[in-house]
Structure 1
Amino acid sequence: MTLRVAIEGVAFWASRLPGWELARAVMRGERTAPDAPSARPAPALLAPNERRRAPDTVTLALEAAARACEAAGRNPSDLPSVFASTHGDVAISDYVCSTLATTPTLISPTKFHNSVHNAAAGYWSIGTGSLAPYTSISAHKYTFGAGLIEAAAQAVCAQRPVLYVAFDSESRGVLATMAPSRGLLGAAVVLAPAGQAQQHRSLILTTEPVAECHPTPARSAAAPLVAENALAPCLPFFEVLAMSQPRTLCLALSRQTALNVEVN
């Protein structure tokens, strides 16, 4: 299978790399990252009260989504979207499980509401007033590649731009031993069908069966800053986007399926 799409807008936010401009400069070796992590993002899309109640996963995803749409010059409410997260919100899931096991009558309705995997996508559609369809997916350690090919397929099949957002936050509690993740990492791109894009880079995505998939490793100074986050496999893709020359990289879709991405 071959998919041809273009990237209209890019966004990236991590605890030590808060914003695509800084992240790109660090990936290029032009700047160093700040020593202290930044506070979680505060997306203007949410009203102050909602912003305070929203979990890290939601504020992270919405910040990345809004910045990608802004970079693409697209109206957020017009775009179908794909939201991908390796674990969802492990901290809230751990809270829900432990509270149900000990004091079930004291469970927080707000936290229960935010525990579903599509919480970020739901907040996005409400905040933007969008009636466009959204997809929320997870594929464990293959999540970023799975989300990318899903968004690209939707853009090609529907012949319209699609917003792709991927994010993971800090794991806590007992569940963190099974679903580890440290810090905050969110990224987004607006993909458009080849020939319809307003600007920026083009992608050619092909899938390939292999005996064992060996994804392209991250090599920039940004790698150790996000290495412990569950979404760290996305970094090689953004390292290639940070460079100006054409390159090809490999992402994993499964242990025996490679996603080859040619960036021009």
Structure 2
Amino acid sequence: MHVFVEGVGVLGPGLPGWQASRGMLAGRVPYVPAPTVLTASPLLPPAERRRSVPTVKLAMAVGMEAIVHAGRDPAAVATVFTSSSGDPDTIHRILETLASDQRELSPTRFHNSVHNAPAGYWSIATQSREPSTSLSHEDGSFQAGLLEAAAEAAVDGWDVALIAYDLPYPAPLDGVRRISDPFGIALLLAPQRTERSLARLDVAVSPASAEPTRMTDPRLESLRTGNPVARGLPLLAALARGADDAVVLPYRPDRRITIAVGPPCR
């Protein structure tokens, strides 16, 4: 599948946005981890802003950064939301409530527990009526989202925002499912080259014969292995370097995602 990147968004520890992070991802500037700051999107109405949970804040932040970077109207872009875990804090709070004597669930907690909650907040904030998909594939969630978004762009001819996000679980769930830090990635993908195009991606599924691409900085490599969405860091690094590159992402035990990254005119 051949698609074109028009915008990028990223938010994670020490990576506070695409423009501020490009040098670190390309290896030109030292990477320094720092806490991730999540804030409610100003695009949301006040009531929804108050109800925003961390996953919504993270998804909205990276998604809107990619849209603004591409100079696109968010109401005219299809979306693919992907996460391995949904909202871990909401899951924890619901289970905590169900394990107590007072088992009445908060309606806000309940509606934030569904996997497509960020997509709902997005449609409210942007007034978008374009197609939207929400999916999950455990540690391959970013990769599955990339395949879905690339297929929609290449086959259906849509402009698609891929919005991927994962956050840590609180204790005791973190003992079962360990995610190190909040991390989100967004890519605006288009089916054809335009004046906005930053790079061309040739995306394919291949046998698991090649080793996954790793980050050269050990701290970024630790982030890559510690958060499922951060499996996409090598793709961001290739985009940051801006040269012809090849990226291999782990997907399933018997499959890899291979991505040839090159200039949009290729």
Residues 87 and 179 in structure 1, CA contact (< 8 A), matched pair in contact too: no
Give yes or no for the alignment of 1:244 onto 2:242.
Answer: yes
Give the structure 2 partner of residue 127 of structure 1: 125
The one of 177, 180, 199 aligned to 1:179 = 177
State how far apart, in whole Å, the 2-side matches of 1:197 and 1:151 are. Answer: 21
Q: Equivalent residue for 1:69?
A: 67
Does the aligned pair in 2 maintain the 1:246–1:263 contact within 8 Å?
Answer: yes
| Partner residue, 1:137 | 135
Q: SS in structure 1 opposite 2:228?
A: coil
Q: CA RMSD in A?
A: 1.9
Aligned length in residues:
261
Matches for 1:152-171 after TM superposition, within 5 Å: 152-171=150-169
Structure 1 contact 213–252 (Cα < 8 Å) conserved: no
The runs of 5 or more residues in structure 1 that have no matched partner are none
SS, match of residue 122 in structure 2 = helix
Deviation, 1:44, is 1.9
Q: Structure 1: how far apart are the matches of 2:221 and 2:132? A: 30
1:244 and 1:217 map into 2 onto residues whose CA distance is: 17
Per-residue CA deviation, residues 175-231 of structure 1 (Å, 9 max, x unaligned), is 222221132111100101134563210000121123x66321122353345653232
Structure 1 residue 168, shift from structure 2 partner: 0.5
Aligned residue number for residue 23 of structure 1: 21
Say if 1:79 and 1:225 are closer, same or farther in 2 by CA, change over 3 A. Answer: same
Aligned mates of 1:244, 1:70 — CA distance in 2: 20
Cα distance change, pair 29–209 in 1 and its aligned pair in 2 (3 A): closer
Question: Is the 1:213–1:254 contact (alpha carbons within 8 Å) kept by the matching residues of 2?
Answer: no
Aligned to 1:102: 100
After superposition, the C-alpha distances for 1:121-150 in whole angstroms (9 at most, x for unaligned) are 111011111111100010001111111010
Distance in 2 (alpha carbons) for counterparts of 1:48 and 1:115:
20
Question: What secondary structure sits across from 1:164 in the alignment?
Answer: strand
Per the alignment, residue 144 of structure 2 pairs with 146
Q: TM-score, normalised by structure 2?
A: 0.91
Residue 33 of structure 1 deviates from its aligned partner by: 4.6
Letter in 2 for 1:262: A
Deviations 1:20-45 (A, max 9, x none): 11221112233345564142133222
Q: Which residue of 2 aligns with 1:39?
A: 37
Q: Is the 8 A contact 1:144 1:234 kept in 2?
A: yes
What SS is found at the alignment partner of 1:231?
A: helix
- Equivalent in the alignment of 2:211: 214
Question: Residues of 2 paired with 1:93 and 1:112: CA distance?
Answer: 9
1:9 aligns with 2:7: yes
